[in-house]
Each structure stands twice: as structure tokens, then as C-alpha cells.
Amino acid sequence: MKIALLGMGTVGTGVYEIINEEKGNYFANAQEKVNIKKVLVRDKTKKRKLDVSEDLLTDSFDEILEDQEIEAVIFAMGGMEPEYSYMKDAMRNKKHVITANKAVVSEYLDTLLKLAEENNVMFLFEASVGGGIPIITSLKETLKINRIDEIKGILNGTSNFILSKMSSEGRDFDDVLKEAQELGFAEADPSADVDGFDVSRKLAILSSLAFGCHIKDEDIYKRGIREVSKSDMEMFDNLGYVLKYLAHSKMDDGKYCATVEPVLLSSKNIMSNVNEEFNIVSIHGNIIGELQFYGKGAGKNATANAVVGDLLYIINNSERRDDIILDKTVENKKLDIFQGKYYLRVDIKNHEEFKKIIDMIDETSRVKKMMVEKSQIFVVTEELRAYTVNDLAQRIADMGNELFYARIVQ
Amino acid sequence: MKIALLGMGTVGTGVYEIINEEKGNYFANAQEKVNIKKVLVRDKTKKRKLDVSEDLLTDSFDEILEDQEIEAVIFAMGGMEPEYSYMKDAMRNKKHVITANKAVVSEYLDTLLKLAEENNVMFLFEASVGGGIPIITSLKETLKINRIDEIKGILNGTSNFILSKMSSEGRDFDDVLKEAQELGFAEADPSADVDGFDVSRKLAILSSLAFGCHIKDEDIYKRGIREVSKSDMEMFDNLGYVLKYLAHSKMDDGKYCATVEPVLLSSKNIMSNVNEEFNIVSIHGNIIGELQFYGKGAGKNATANAVVGDLLYIINNSERRDDIILDKTVENKKLDIFQGKYYLRVDIKNHEEFKKIIDMIDETSRVKKMMVEKSQIFVVTEELRAYTVNDLAQRIADMGNELFYARIVQ
């Protein structure tokens, strides 16, 4: 099979290496069947780490599109446009599409799946969620027999690195973020990682497949990790909890909630030991119960492995099938389905504020534990609905008090 | 597709329910394609929980064998014979075989795979390892691109239950075993679970696939968990370790080791939080790095889910492929590849014994930590080879001193 590769960044290079350099195992046997005929790059003259023959390089997507021999196109580019248009053009020209691009997949999944069906080609996107973890394939397989009603995941390495470091070294958010930026683990603008946009797209893709309807980034409630402090981390340690940035969606009787927010896990929870660049995804099926999948969530080789896995699927399956259909009618209940005990920390300046805050908390919830230290109140509440806590937090924030809160998931 | 089901025990009942009672999700759509035509049972007149039509029941395997309409046979029976003969007969009669029977698979994998190839039928055994965890499928997929050099797993619910309980409740082995037996979690003869034979068969199957050669139960070093005591458990807690009964195999340059033994994991290790009936399997590939898979290791629904998953694979794939070939030449180095720090506890009766034991340990290893309490010595050694420690332990045991030791895996 002749294919084209779009992009020669980290993932593109990894894909090229696995296919052409026999780093792999059984894939070497399929060598004769896979031939990268064209590589699309922005600048053909750019010096590259990898020695790619000049004949392969092109800066014209049309050249790939019009090449009848090319049966599949691998998208190893991260933007929204022209990637989305290119994907549609490729499928209209009867080429299979494989992509690692979570932005396009989460936003246009429904359209792209339909286009694949209309043109009798495959649209595969294993690498768009969880790097090397075979979560899309596993989710599809589980769905053949199960209804899935819950997804939980740690799906962002940068935020996980920051929280792990803050916890193990007793440091503040800004301090660790700065280090992560210097080490190249975090972007100059860290918003995608620490405010939930990256995770949200991944959760959107997983939830869409699991619940059978197109759930987008905009349907997901997001809360960042910027407010967590060193003193919170100390308190979590004392209470036996670990703070993780969790993607969580749940379906109940045709209604769902999907959130990305910091939550507290018991230190006995498997997910509490997932650190640094590793990701984990938990899915719950009505027959199989809970399944969890753990692996490297990013990086050249792991992500490229997922891309090449999709390519092998196309090579080995001449006919399309396992079609995903996003035709269910579901209602987004925002935060309404989630509830739990909550941890809440409020900074106070004087006794008057202390009394006022305590009164506000008392009106909302029975308090299970309370600690007061220096100028901070720490509270663990009884079971509360998520929207109740959000409302309380908003009212406290409106008074000018700094605070942090997190649902306790166990 | 018309199929036969052999056995109406726990797994057989679960399979019957998923196929016939629309408990599942997408599988309901495939209903018309799957029809259980015959169910083999020992005693047709036995009263069953499940209401199975009398017309379906048979006590004659020949009746199934001779039925040309039956295309696949599901083996939900646990013994070695007649199961092995029946599997061969079924494939010779051009019927696909799906089995949950780890005893037959581990002992005859090579023969059964070859027979499947000769007869152009499929031989699938997802349910034989790890219950509902899709580990066989995931291993095959990973192997298409990766060389796999290490497998680790917690694969036995009974021993895991006993160790969890001993640890959390500070109780002795015999005491917890007795409770597990009363609760029906452990057999009257617990040997398969606590001496490693059950786990060993599962590790044999996984290692065979991963390393490309037929590794059997007899190739695996096994050590049980009967010697671990309450005082060991207390010490592990103090040291920040958790004791788990680990299946572990490793390949290094054409040589492998495979063991089932109690090992110490850091409480920060994901596997240390795997409790009760849950299983976990870790595989390490040269490209993808470490992947871990977690789920219910036993039970009606989880295991039946794996069986029905195999059935769906047969229905959806008219052609055989993904053939596993066990043709590699590998050398069994027994314990030689494993090494690590070791925990060792020896019971002593007097000062003379104390001195003697300390001398023996000193000759073998530099000691990293030592504690003496009442009439027990507790030692954590520097890095040692597994066979060195086994030899030391044997010499101490030969002197009549009770002891327990475990490799520290981190």
C-alpha cells in the first residue's frame, strides 16, 4: 500500500521511523506492503534530523490528492485548518485518513465519520487520545457488548507533572509551572494544559464514542488547576488524598455530564499513582465492569505506534466496518449528575471574614471535618451536588477571598 | 452463525445470557447472526438457574461435531480431558474454537494453533487470562509493531484477596485463608491459588505469545505465599512496600526467565493498589514503552464478555489472520535474569542462631538495612541475583529456621 504522510514533526518522524527503519517487530514483515510515497512539509529545504529523500518531499497537498496510487493519508499535523479541509478532500478522493489531531477530531467527528462512510474509506484516530494507550480501539471493542456509562481519565502530562511535583516537593503552582516551562514540558502559554482545553478535547472524543452522540469541547465543564496552593497539597497529604486533574463523564438514563476539574483521589486509588507523562483511562461497562488502560500519553514513539497501528488495521481489513454511529439523543445536564464530598480551602484576613465564611458554608452543607490554620479555613463537606458547591465558591470568590475546592472521588 | 456451547457453569451461563438476553449493547444488533444451537451438559435433567430450552441440551459431543451447521464451539469447561480432545476434534471438523480453559491452552497452545491453521479455522482464548481484561488481543496488537521484553501481572484473585486482607487487617495467612474458604473465595485445596499453579498457566500463555515460543507451566519458577506472616506485613508497611503475588517474565537477548513469586512493590507503584478480584497486566514494548491493563480477573460477566468478544471477532472476520507463530528459539535461564534488592525475615531461637544467620547473610550480601525484633531478624539486602538468594534461603531452611523472603521490584 502506498501512503502519504502529512507533517514531519515529532509524530511524523516517529511514524516514518517505524515504517522505514525496521525498529519494530512484526511490522517489518509487512514492509513490502507499506510505502511512504509522499511527505508533505511546509518547507522542503528545511534541514531535518531524519534523512528523508528529497523525492518524497512535497509542499503541495494537491499533488498527494491527485496521486491515484496513494490509498491512505496520515495526518501528523496539529492545527484546525487546513487540516480539516485536507481530511475532507482526502476522503472525497477515496483515501483512508489516519490522524493524531484531537482538535479536528473532537470538533468535526460526526461530519468526518459520515464522510468516511459516504466514500467507503476508513477514518481512524487512535493517536488523538492518550498517546500510545490503545483506548479508542478498546472502547470500540467494549462497546460491541457493553453499554458504557462512565469514563475517567488522567489525560494531560503537563498538568500531571505540575501536580506531582507540587505534591512531592511541597512547592507552589507558579514555581513549578516556571520550571516546567524552562524544561520544555509546558508551553509559554500554558492555558491548554492547565485550564483544561487539551483534556477536554480528549474527553469529548471518548465520550462521543461511549455515549453514541457527538459531544464537543464546548459541552464540557472545565476548571483549571491554577488556584491550588502548597498548603492545599500539605492538607491532601494529611488527609490521605492525591490531587489529580481528572476528565470525567457519566451517563445516566439518557442524560450526561462531562467535566475536567481537579479532584481528590484516595492514595489507595490506582489513578493516584499515575505520574508525569503517563496517562490512564478508566471505562465502566454494564457487563464487563471497570477496565483501566495505562501508558505513555505523549511522545514520539508511543504516539507514532498508535498511528501505525491504525495503518495496520487498514492494511489488514479490506472492508470498512466497526462503524461508529453518533445518532443517540442525549441531554447535557452540565454538572447535575456529579456529587460527592468536597474539600474547600478559603483564605481569610480576620475574624469577621472567618465568621461570615463559616456561616455561608453552614447554610450550604453539613461539615464533616474542619481545620483552621493561620489565615485559612479547610473544610471537608458531606455529600453535595456539584452545582451547589460551584455556586458557593462563586459567592465566596465574589467577596474577594481566595479559595480552592475539589470533589473527592475516592 | 450457529454455534455450540460446552458447559453451563458460571462462564457458560454468562455467555448464554449475553447472547440470548440482550443484556448487552451493540451485540443485540448482531442477534440474528448468532444462534446457540446446542448446549453440551453432563446431565440434561439437572435443574438450572437459567431456563434453557430442553431441545438445546445434549450430553453427546458427537452430536455437535456432526452438525454441519455449527460453525463455532465455545468451551466453557475447565478440565484437561476430554476438553483437549474435543478442541482438536472440533477444529478437524472445521469448527472455530473459543475457550476460557487456561489449563489446555497453556499446555497445548502450539499444537492447537497449528491445528487451527491446518484446518483454516480460528482458535481464540481471550478469556483464558485475566478474565475481562482484553489482554490477549492487546498483546497481539502490540506485537504487530513492538518486540515485547517484559510482562508483569497480578493474575489471581484469591491470593490477592488473602494478601490484601492480611495487610489491611494485620492477620495471619492461615486465618485469612480459612475465612476465604468459608466465603467461597478459596478452594478446600487452595494450592492452585496460593502455590502459583493458576497464575503460572496464565503467565505461560502470555509469555508464549510475547516471546514467540511455547513456554509451559513447567518452565516457570513458582514460589507460594504460605510463609508470609503478620510480622512481615507490619514490616512492609513500615518500609513503604506492599506484598503482591506477581507473575513476571523477562526476555533478554534470546534468553528468558519466568517466575511466579511474592514480591514487594513500592506503595507508589500502580500495581500495589490492585486489590481483591481485580487483575492487572503490564507489558513493555520496545517502541510503545509500558502499557498496563486493569479489570476484573474472574466472574461470570467479565469472563463471558471476553468469550463473546472472541465470537464477535469470528463473526466479523471471515478470513483467518493475525496468526501467532511460536517458532522462536529461546533459552530458559530459570532465575538468572532476575535480580534486585531482597527482603528477608528469619525466625531465630537464640543468640547462637542469630550470629550464625547473620554470618551467612554477610557472606552472601551487603546488608542495606537490618532490624531485630523479639526472635526475628529482618534484612533488606543490596542488589542480589535471584538464584543467590534462593540458595541462601534454602541453606537457612535446611537448618530448621522459618523464613520468608521477597524480591523488591519497586
Q: Establish how many alpha carbons lie within 13 A of residue B89's alpha carbon, considering only the half-sphere containing its beta carbon.
A: 14
* Partner-chain contact A145 B274, CB within 8 Å: no
Which residues in chain A have Cβ-Cβ distances shorter than 8 Å to B301? 287-289
Residues in CB range of B35: below 8 A, 6 or more apart: B1, B2, B3
Question: Would residue B202 show up in a list of annotated catalytic residues for this protein?
Answer: yes
- The answer to whether B199 touches B130, Cβ cutoff 8 Å, is no
Query: Residue ranges per domain, chain B?
Result: 2-129+302-316, 136-297, 339-408
From first to last of its 410 residues, what are the pLDDT tens digits of chain A? 999 999 999 999 999 999 887 655 555 455 457 889 999 999 888 888 788 888 999 999 999 999 999 999 999 998 999 999 999 999 999 999 999 999 999 999 999 999 999 999 999 999 999 999 999 999 999 998 999 999 999 999 999 999 999 999 999 999 999 999 998 889 999 999 999 999 999 999 999 999 999 999 999 999 999 999 999 999 999 999 999 999 999 999 999 999 999 999 999 999 999 998 899 999 999 999 999 999 999 999 999 999 999 999 998 887 776 678 899 999 999 888 899 999 999 999 999 999 999 999 999 988 888 899 889 999 999 999 999 999 999 999 999 999 999 999 98
Residue of B nearest to A303 (CA): B288
* Partner-chain contact A138 B141, CB within 8 Å: no
Which residues in chain A have Cβ-Cβ distances shorter than 8 Å to B316? 321-322
Q: Is A11 annotated as a binding residue?
A: yes
Q: Is B102 annotated as a binding residue?
A: yes
Indicate the DSSP class of residue B345. E
Alpha-carbon A133 to chain mean position: 12
Q: Which band of pLDDT confidence, cut at 50, 70 and 90, is reported for residue B50?
A: confident
Three-state secondary structure call for residue B286: coil
Whole-number Å distance between alpha carbons of A267 and A274: 11
Q: Cα separations (Å) of B301 from B24, B27, B36, B100, B275?
A: 11, 14, 18, 13, 19
Task: For residue A139, give the C-alpha cell.
Answer: 472502547
Beta strands in B175-288 (DSSP E): 221-222, 241-252, 255-266, 278-285
CATH superfamily, domain A339-408, is Ribosomal protein S10 (3.30.70.600)
List A38, A95, A152, A202, catalytic entry: A202
Residue of A nearest to B280 (CA): A292
Q: What is the CATH architecture assignment of B136-297?
A: 2-Layer Sandwich (3.30)
Q: What is the mean pLDDT of residues B266-293?
A: 96
Q: Is A99 annotated as a binding residue?
A: no
Give the orientation angle of helix A135-143 with respect to helix A197-211, to 10 degrees.
20
Task: Please report the ipTM that was assigned to this predicted complex.
Answer: 0.95
Class of domain A2-135+302-316: alpha beta
List B202, B216, B296, B334, catalytic entry: B202
- The answer to whether B211 touches B328, Cβ cutoff 8 Å, is yes
pLDDT over 80 (residue B308): yes
Whole-number Å distance between alpha carbons of A289 and A319: 31
Query: How far apart are the CA of B56 and the nearest CA of chain A, in angstroms?
Result: 24
pLDDT digits (tens, 9 = 90+) for B152-194: 999 999 999 999 999 999 999 999 999 999 988 899 999 999 9
* Partner-chain contact A287 B305, CB within 8 Å: yes
A–B: how many Cβ contacts below 8 A?
A: 150
Residue A161 burial (CB count, 10 A): 21
Mutate to test the interface with A, among B144, B251, B307 (most CBs of A within 10 A): B144
Which residues in chain B have Cβ-Cβ distances shorter than 8 Å to A295? 288-292
Domain B2-129+302-316 belongs to what topology?
Answer: Rossmann fold (3.40.50)
Res B12: pLDDT: 95
Region of B289 (left: φ > 0; alpha: ψ -120 to 50; beta: rest) is left
* Partner-chain contact B309 A144, CB within 8 Å: yes
Residue of A nearest to B141 (CA): A309
Q: Cα separations (Å) of B10 from A55, A65, B39, B59, B222?
A: 61, 54, 14, 18, 28
Name the residue among B313, B312, B316, B260 with its Cα closest to residue B140: B313
- The answer to whether B372 touches B344, Cβ cutoff 8 Å, is no
Whole-number Å distance between alpha carbons of B326 and B214: 6
* Partner-chain contact B288 A302, CB within 8 Å: yes
* Partner-chain contact B289 A269, CB within 8 Å: no
Q: What is the mean pLDDT of residues B102-126?
A: 97
Mutate to test the interface with A, among B20, B21, B145, B324 (most CBs of A within 10 A): B145
Q: Cα separations (Å) of A150 from A21, A56, A207, A259, B41?
A: 40, 45, 9, 12, 37
Beta strands in B118-277 (DSSP E): 123-124, 148-154, 221-222, 241-252, 255-266
Task: For residue B277, give the C-alpha cell.
Answer: 478480584
